[in-house]
Amino acid sequence: MFFSGVYTALVTPFATDGSVDYSKLKELVEFNIAGGVSGLVPVGTTGESPTLRTDEHLQVIKTVTETASGRVKIMAGTGANSTAEAIELTAAAREFGVDGTLQVTPYYNKPNSAGLIQHFSAVADIGVPVVLYNVPGRSALEIPLEVVVELAKHEHIVSVKEAAGSVQRVTDIKKLCDIEVLSGDDSLALPMIKEGALGVISVASNIMPAEVSALVSAALDGNYEEAQALHDQYAKAFDDLFIDTNPIPIKAAMAMKGLIEETYRLPMCATTDENKAVLRATLEAAGVL
């Protein structure tokens, strides 16, 4: 197995002046490792990658990798809708010693199946294990199953993050080819693991790493009754952490817990007071706050 368990899709903490707060980032790495996660995913969607400059993007990956110092696996977000940019970022991340990279479906330009195969293969040829990131809600394009099957033949394409909201996709992928699957949604982690997924790339574990780790560990061990009880306890929290566009709610929640400053980069901005009140009530009821 390349990647299994809980991988926190790390937020990128900003100081009040809008700069990346690398000191706080190191604290978040330690908080997650103490919570028992299997790995960290810097600079994915939750890390506000579209608003980071290239130098910041790479410095975040380097900081997370160096701070973790081999204690957990690092799956760096180095995808792009330009193949050349994805290759550049991935080659740089390789030099930092990351364990793998998360490669989002090229967004906006909507390549055809041949283009998808060539794009992901070109990045994988660098030699760093690749996790495909299927997120049609963000990229406007689903990775077709036949493309996943073809890409699974590449020795360095090892897994796919399924964030399309479909448990059936996991079932279909596992039937058609030999590739690992990770859930891209906390709320679907348990049902996806039942269908053969090996864990979750989690937003919720930014604020509750121990709780999500316990749920996934129980599920992977086949203790579904225990896992279901934990899922039920945190199900509303999983949902309400998406009461607004990710990563707005998780950053608000982390600020409530005193983990970070609630600072975003435009076009991301704070949610409404009403949403914050709902989120706080939910997290308090679940025992997270």
The neighbour count for residue 289, using CB atoms within 10 Å, is 17
| Structure-block tokens of residue 6 | 């809980």
- Answer yes or no: are the C-beta atoms of 102 and 78 closer than 8 Å: yes
Range list of β-strands (E), 69-205 = 73-77, 100-104, 130-134, 157-162, 180-183, 199-202
Tell me if residue 22 is catalytic.
no
The rounded distance, in Å, linking the Cα atoms of 234 and 231 is: 5
> Which residue numbers belong to the known binding site for pyruvate?
46, 201
Tell me if residue 234 is catalytic.
no
Q: Are strands 130-134 and 100-104 parallel, antiparallel or unpaired?
A: parallel
The SS3 of residue 216 is: helix
Contacts of 259 (CB under 8 A, 6+ apart): 27, 28, 31, 206, 207
Catalytic residue among 62, 73, 161, 276: 161
- Answer yes or no: are the C-beta atoms of 123 and 103 closer than 8 Å: yes
> Which residue numbers belong to the known binding site?
46, 201
What are the two backbone dihedrals, phi and then psi, of residue 172, each rounded to the nearest 5 degrees?
A: -65, -45
Q: Which amino acid is at 189?
A: A
Contacts of 180 (CB under 8 A, 6+ apart): 1, 2, 3, 4, 158, 159, 160, 198
Catalytic residue among 133, 251, 264, 276: 133
Catalytic residues: 133, 161
